[in-house]
Amino acid sequence: MYVAYAFGGQQMDVTVDTAPEVAALTIWGFRDGQPYARAQNGVTDFSLSLPATQAYIIEVVPQGGSVVDYELKVRIQ
């Protein structure tokens, strides 16, 4: 699990370098509890103009409970 604090209005881009059947992203706001990306939907690329200033929780979820290697890229600007 990773945590990125960002301001509302900033752009967040997150990519996990793996196939969706191997691992995917779950991203949610810590303060509002809002899910912005769900691993069960196979999300590997995520981009959003952030709605609120808060910590954003980023999880790389292995599909099928396996252990996987991955590269995670997060950009906030």
List the domain range (segments joined by +) for residue 51: 2-76
Antiparallel, parallel or unpaired: β 2-6 and 54-62: antiparallel
CA 54, 72, 6 angle in degrees (round to 5)? Answer: 15
Q: How many domains does the chain have?
A: 1
Tens-digit pLDDT string for the chain (77 aa): 999 999 999 999 999 998 888 999 999 999 999 999 999 999 999 999 999 999 999 999 998 878 899 999 999 99
User: What separation in angstroms does the CA of 77 have from each of 7, 29, 64?
Assistant: 9, 17, 33
Q: What does pTM read for this prediction?
A: 0.91
Q: Are 3 and 55 in contact (CB under 8 A)?
A: yes
